[in-house]
Amino acid sequence: MEKTEKIFVAGHRGMVGSAICRALAKEGFANVITRTHSELDLLDTKAVRGFYMSEKPDVAIIAAARVGGIGANSAANALFLYENEMIALNTVWQAAEAGVNRLLFLGSTCIYPRMAPQPIKEESLLTSALEKTNEGYALAKISGLKLCEFLRRDKGLLYHSLMPTNLYGPGDNYDIVGGHVLPTLIRKFETAEGHVDLWGTGSPLREFLHVDDLASACLFALSLENPPNVMNVGSGEEVSIRVLAEKVKAATGSNAEIRWDATKPDGTPRKLCDTSLIRSLGWKSAIPLDEGLAMTVASYRSELASGKIRL
Ligand code: GFB
């Protein structure tokens, strides 16, 4: 990817898209184009087509999605499937129609089977049943990455995908009901009065990656002349939800008692991705969980103080 190329970042206001824009600016990519939701509705095929046809970007990075934690996903699998499917099909297919030569599509490691052998290799895709709590989201993301793979094969377009593990960082969504576990725990401990109610048993294992590490992986993937169709991006740092809760408690300085509500879902028991592919090509994560967590608690506090927090 050349510094002068015109790069479209879809979803630039989200946690991932804004991290990618920061990384692009830092690396000197000056020709980045973005559209807010009100300027361009990515669910609207005609509008997306018109946008690509008039702007003709050289590169597109698809960081737009409806995302949420286990609560939001399991309550609205239909919505997560529909919106993410439409976003994927519109942003990828219409890019190809307009002659965009290179595209990076972002998925998630929840596309892999619930009981995939751990750590999860890229080859595990579509080998057995998905996790039910986020099946809609996973199916939509699988369509997107497959569309990229097929367009690359059928039309020779350099369309490829990254599958990041659970992400966190500045600009996250701190909604207690619909958010992902890490930001939700920060908010719960920061606002606790005596105790916090956490979901499930605390035994599931998760891997967390700071979003600035993902942004660096995106730039790395886009620098490869012949990238793999799908590459996992993770930190290799796996913790149980119970240990995560202790870490967040310490990082926020809270004294709250932790109570577990086992009527709430645990979700997939383990989700550690195998990152040997991207590491073999020369990329690895740089931000350890403890450091990233401390930075994120600080950004939660400043986002809250400035009134810019997403709840
Ligand atoms: O990030 P999260 O909501 O989703 O984490 P997934 C869920 C895990 O954290 C479960 C536990 O084991 C929950 O039981 N947990 C404990 C909590 N307390 C809480 C809490 O207060 N809030 C939340 N949210 N969880 C998501 C997918 O799966 O992973 C998405 O639903 C996406 O599609 C994302 O792919 C990366 O890790 O289970």
What's the pLDDT tens digit per position in 232-285?
Answer: 999 999 999 999 999 999 999 999 999 999 999 999 999 999 999 999 999 999
CA distance 242 to 239: 8
Nearest atom within ligand 1 for CA of residue 68: 30
Instruction: Decide if 180 is inside a domain.
Output: no
> Is 21:32 a contact under the CB 8 Å cutoff?
yes
184 alpha carbon – ligand 1 mean position (Å): 9
Closest CA to 278 of 195, 191, 192, 219: 219
> Is 100:156 a contact under the CB 8 Å cutoff?
no
The pLDDT of residue 176 is 94
Instruction: Decide if 310 is inside a domain.
Output: no
80 alpha carbon – ligand 1 mean position (Å): 15
Evaluate: CB of 73 within 6 angstroms of ligand 1: yes
Nearest atom within ligand 1 for CA of residue 179: 24
For the chain, the domain total comes to 1
| Residue closest by Cα to atom 23 of ligand 1 | 181
Instruction: Decide if 299 is inside a domain.
Output: no
| Mutational pocket test of ligand 1: of 106, 131, 199, the residue with most ligand atoms within 8 Å of the beta carbon | 199
CATH number of the domain bearing residue 58: 3.40.50.720
CA distance 203 to 84: 29
Q: Which residues pair with 166 in a beta bridge?
A: 208
259 alpha carbon – ligand 1 mean position (Å): 16
pLDDT tier at 299, thresholds 50, 70, 90: very high
The pLDDT of residue 121 is 98
| Mutational pocket test of ligand 1: of 181, 208, 252, 260, the residue with most ligand atoms within 8 Å of the beta carbon | 181
pLDDT tier at 149, thresholds 50, 70, 90: very high
Evaluate: CB of 296 within 6 angstroms of ligand 1: no
The pLDDT of residue 251 is 98
Residues with catalytic roles: 137
The pLDDT of residue 1 is 83
Instruction: Decide if 69 is inside a domain.
Output: yes
51 alpha carbon – ligand 1 mean position (Å): 35
Evaluate: CB of 41 within 6 angstroms of ligand 1: no
pLDDT, mean over the chain = 97
Instruction: Decide if 164 is inside a domain.
Output: yes
Nearest atom within ligand 1 for CA of residue 165: 36
The pLDDT of residue 80 is 98
Cis check for the bond before 227: say yes or no (omega within 30 of 0): no
Q: Which two tokens stand for residue 70?
A: 């286990």
Taking only Cα atoms into account, the Rg of the chain, rounded to an integer number of angstroms, comes to 19
Residue 104 DSSP label: E
Interval 184-235: pLDDT, tens: 999 999 999 999 999 999 999 999 999 999 999 999 999 999 999 999 999 9
The pLDDT of residue 59 is 98
CA distance 252 to 298: 9
Evaluate: CB of 84 within 6 angstroms of ligand 1: no
Domain interval for residue 230: 7-172+208-236+271-289
> Is 125:111 a contact under the CB 8 Å cutoff?
yes
Evaluate: CB of 292 within 6 angstroms of ligand 1: no
Instruction: Decide if 184 is inside a domain.
Output: no
| Residue closest by Cα to atom 10 of ligand 1 | 266
pTM above 0.75, yes or no: yes
Look at strands 158-164 and 230-233 and give their pairing: parallel
Mean pLDDT value across residues 274-303: 98
CA distance 183 to 72: 14
Nearest atom within ligand 1 for CA of residue 204: 12
| Residue closest by Cα to atom 3 of ligand 1 | 69
Asked if pLDDT for residue 58 goes beyond 90, the answer is yes
Instruction: Decide if 249 is inside a domain.
Output: no
The pLDDT of residue 264 is 95
pLDDT tier at 163, thresholds 50, 70, 90: very high
Instruction: Decide if 305 is inside a domain.
Output: no
169 alpha carbon – ligand 1 mean position (Å): 15
Nearest atom within ligand 1 for CA of residue 167: 36
The pLDDT of residue 129 is 98
Evaluate: CB of 204 within 6 angstroms of ligand 1: yes
